[in-house]
Structure formats: C-alpha cells, structure tokens
Amino acid sequence: MSSDIDLSSIQIVDETHEKARKETYTEFAELHHSQLTNSGVPELYWPKLFNKLSEEIYDAGNAFEMKQVLLMNETEETIGSHWIVCATSSVCIYEPQHIYLIDHAWTYNGSSAEDDLKKIPGLLERMAALMDTETETKTKKELIDTVLETMWQFNQTYRFGNFEL
C-alpha cells in the first residue's frame, strides 16, 4: 500500500465544484435578474447574496439590532413606542459583503396558523419566546390561544409581486 496521495484528483474535484458553483450562480442571476433589479439590489451584491442564500447564512443579527424607542409625555409616562434598526458595526455600501439576510420567524395564512402551531415542531415555543409569553403555567391549548391572540402585534405582511419568472 502506497502512502503517496494523488493531489491531482483533489484539484480536479475543486475545479469541478467551483465550475458547478459558477454555473449555479449564473443560473441564479438569470432566474432572479428581474426580481433583483426591480427590488433595487445592485449587481455588486448578487454573488454574495447567492452565497448566503445557498449556505443559509442569516447574518443580519451580526451587523444590526432592533431597538425600541419609547415615546414619552411631559411627565415621562410612556405614550407609545416604535422600533428602529441600528447598525452594530461599520457598513459600507460599496463593499459586496454588506448584504444581509434575515431569517423570518414564520410565514402562514390565517386559516392555517393554529394547525401550524400544533404540528410544526418547536414553532409554538419559538413564537411564545419571541412574543415574551409566559409558558411555564400554560397548557399547550392555552399557549396556542395566547400566541394566536398576541401575534397580530408583531405581524407584518408581504406579497410576491413578480410571478413572470
């Protein structure tokens, strides 16, 4: 048995992998060109976006944080609030790595929300934690009801506008 390692085969594998990756990026760019252009995403960011989507890198939390701004009256009573996004590190729009992905919490339609909370492992607990809902003393049914009643404070909606692809 020889202890020599054939490094040429490793190089071929690396080149093949890199070629497949480039072809996949090309397909990504062709497929999503209209969507990215219409959304105003500069081409500078497309390769990094492709990489982060391919590798499921949700890294917005490494560069940004949410802060709650409390609105106070003259007697320093809270009369409202809103949330803002703040950068936690330097972000330069001319550097291609500065495109970030956010892992959204949950996509659902109203008629399936309760079933989702019952059937998707970990979803109920995750939503309760995000909503800062006390879980220790509640039954599963009570927790589902609480999440369904509370989630409307946190929900945001979106729609897909480009189905021409």
Per-residue pLDDT of 11-70, as tens digits, reads 445 555 555 556 699 999 999 999 999 999 999 999 999 999 988 888 888 888 888 899
Query: Could you give phi then psi for residue 106, rounded to 5 degrees?
Result: -170, 130
Alpha helices in the chain (DSSP H): 7-38, 46-55, 113-119, 123-130, 140-150
Beta-strand relationship, 64-72 and 78-87: antiparallel
Percent of the chain with pLDDT over 70: 80
- Is 104 a residue whose pLDDT tops 80? no
Interior angle at CA 155, CA 153 and CA 156, nearest 5: 130
* pTM tops 0.75, yes or no: no
CA distance 13 to 19: 10
Interval 67-90: pLDDT, tens? 889 999 999 999 988 888 899 989
Sequence-distant (≥ 6) Cβ neighbours of residue 82 within 8 angstroms: 68, 69, 71
